[in-house]
Amino acid sequence: IIESKSFKLYLNSFNQSRFDTMETVRQTLAADLSTASNSQVSVTLFGADEFDCIPFSRLPGECIDELDIEVDSYTPNSDLLQLASEDMVDET
């Protein structure tokens, strides 16, 4: 049995990782989990466009998984921030 916190930490270890295909992710997860549990583990992944078949509501926002972008900054960078408006607001 793989503890949920350990599994979450394992999944977080993939932050900033890039995979060529979802199949590569599936194979990596299956191999690692099989090794960790000392048994055969099968993994099924669902893409963001397949969530309609799962009883969860679609989250607001835009999926960036398929965007062709280059990420080369892995630390906070204030130059990347933009204002939605130049209007100044004073709140109390």
Residue 75 lies in a domain: no
> How many domains does one find in the chain?
1
Q: Would you say 41 and 34 are in contact if contact means Cβ atoms under 8 Å apart?
A: yes
Residue 87 lies in a domain: no
Question: What is the domain extent for residue 45?
Answer: 20-60
Residue 15 lies in a domain: no
Residue 80 lies in a domain: no
pLDDT tens-place values along the chain, 92 residues long? 889 999 999 999 998 888 989 999 999 999 999 999 999 999 999 877 776 666 666 678 887 777 888 888 888 888 888 888 888 888 88
- What pLDDT is attached to residue 18? 85
- What pLDDT is attached to residue 47? 79
Residue 39 lies in a domain: yes
- What pLDDT is attached to residue 58? 66
Give the CA angle between residues 39, 42, 44 to the nearest 5°: 155
Please give the model's pTM, rounded to 2 decimal places.
0.60
* Identity of the amino acid at 1: I
Residue 44 lies in a domain: yes
First-residue to last-residue Cα distance in the chain: 52
